[in-house]
């Protein structure tokens, strides 16, 4: 993330994600239904997360919460999201 913390999406657990702080602080688990398999940092500081079903959400590091966003019209297995220089992913 923009502040050097590391966002890890959880594909197989009881948490949506874990946020690690390189300063040694205790990792923060974001509870909820898991299943995110991909994450991409956006220029806004938010993290776009997706899963193999095409669902998507934005993670806001300020509120440590997810907001649903436009999903893909089709499922895709093993896809990777990359931010482009113009802000699109």
Q: What is the pLDDT of residues 37-56, one digit of tens each?
A: 888 888 889 998 888 888 88
Number of neighbouring beta carbons within 10 Å of residue 18? 15
pLDDT computed for residue 60 by the predictor = 93
- More confident position, 18 or 77: 18
pLDDT class of 88 with cuts at 50, 70, 90: confident
Q: How far apart are the first and last CA of the chain?
A: 16
pLDDT computed for residue 74 by the predictor = 65
pLDDT computed for residue 19 by the predictor = 92
User: What element of type H or E holds 48?
Assistant: strand 47-50
């Amino acid at each position: 993330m923009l502040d050097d913390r590391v966002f890890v999406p959880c594909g197989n657990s009881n948490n949506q994600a874990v946020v690690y702080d390189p300063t040694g602080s205790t990792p923060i688990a974001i509870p909820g239904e898991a299943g995110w398999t991909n994450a991409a940092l956006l220029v806004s500081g938010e993290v776009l997360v997706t899963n193999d079903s095409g669902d998507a959400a934005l993670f806001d590091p300020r509120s440590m919460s997810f907001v649903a966003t436009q999903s893909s019209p089709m499922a895709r297995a093993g896809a990777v999201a990359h931010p482009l220089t113009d802000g699109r992913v």
